[in-house]
Chain A
Amino acid sequence: MNWNWFYRMGSPRWFYETTSRWLPWLGALTFILLVGGLVWGLAFAPQDAKQGNSFRIIYLHVPASFLALAGYFLMAAAGAIGLIWKMKLSYMVMKCAAPLGAVLTFLALFTGAVWGKPTWGSYWVWDARVTSMLILLFLYLGVLALQYAFNSKDVGNKASAILALVGTVNIPIIYKSVDWWFTLHQPATITFTQAPSMHPAMFQPLLVMILGFYCFYAVALILSVRVEILARERKTSWVRERVKQAAQNSLGATL
């Protein structure tokens, strides 16, 4: 098997230059999806027969939760690739995915809390779903903290990657918690096997928001990986060339 494509993808310079071309388009798409989906969901989708308008929080809560879980898989996979192939870029991806995932998990918990008050009657409950989601937040913070806990960057990366891998088991637990135990949280609306138990007029904007959050995740991750690349490759001639170009063209510094 030819692994050349794999190693080329692991090159920070290749990553930086490819994403330079894609970022403006991806950024514009993200903005359109998020603004369009949010306006659609908040103002144009019909309200829920039982929950009324509080149900509109779903347009933030579900996408944030999706990406909090998917982002953890990505972070753990990047950690595994770093451990096995010792690829610099994959450790950078893992490092940048940790704070991003932590913020998305926090958002899932926060939007869940302000949704819980008007529907359940409580901001917070210690049921299996909410508690396992809180553990996810701590796992993200743990991966982030281990990065800085060691003097050696290499040891920090390895420790983070191992914690990320161990924590992967929490993801299926979060997902199945509403089926395995009696929880206050309702079962999943969107599943792999069945049609969503949601009216199409409400489901379409949700789909737009989920797509928008996936694109947002990609943009935010790429942006911070690029900073990481610049900082670590600061001595190389291609980075210096970029800096020189940016100094000549002040517009270049913002893009």
Chain B
Amino acid sequence: MKFQFDNFSHLLNMDGHGAYVWAAVAVTVLLMTWLIINPLLQRRDVFEEIAREVSREQLRQDASREGA
């Protein structure tokens, strides 16, 4: 196994095909990262929502106990 390019700029340029190859890489990496990040962010939101619901119910319960 051998590194196929002379230097970093040769790797970027890829003998004129660099723009095509790296565009494919960039869009793929971007979208695949989004596919992982998005559910993680959604999960955080759902957790926070549920936590708020729980504390709201807790408050309501406490209030009704005090009222009784």
Contacts and interface: CB of A to CB of B under 8 A. Distances in A.
Classify A-B as touching or not with yes or no (CB < 8 A).
yes
Interface string B1-42: 111110000010011111011011101100110111011101
Interface stretch (A1-9, A135-143, A150-158, A240-248): A240-248
Q: Provide the main secondary structure of the chain B interface.
A: helix
A216 B32 contact: yes
Contacts of A253: 44, 47
Contacts of B4: 43-47
B25 A60 contact: yes
Interface residues of B, number: 36
B15 A52 contact: yes
Given A44-B2, A107-B27, A227-B46, A220 B20 contact: no
Contacts of A54: 14, 17, 20-21
B59 interface: no
A56 B4 CA distance: 12
Contacts of B42: 224, 227
Nearest to A34: B32
A208 B15 CA distance: 25
Contacts of A201: 1
A43 B11 contact: yes
Interface of A: 38, 40, 42-47, 52-54, 56-57, 60-61, 64, 100, 103, 106-107, 110-111, 114-115, 117-118, 201, 216, 219-220, 223-224, 226-227, 230-231, 234, 239-240, 243-244, 246-247, 253-254
Given A44-B1, A224-B39, A239-B50, 9 more contacts: A42-B25, A43-B3, A53-B17, A54-B17, A60-B28, A230-B50, A240-B50, A246-B47, A253-B44
Interface of B: 1-5, 11, 14-18, 20-21, 23-25, 27-28, 31-32, 34-36, 38-40, 42-44, 46-47, 49-51, 53-54
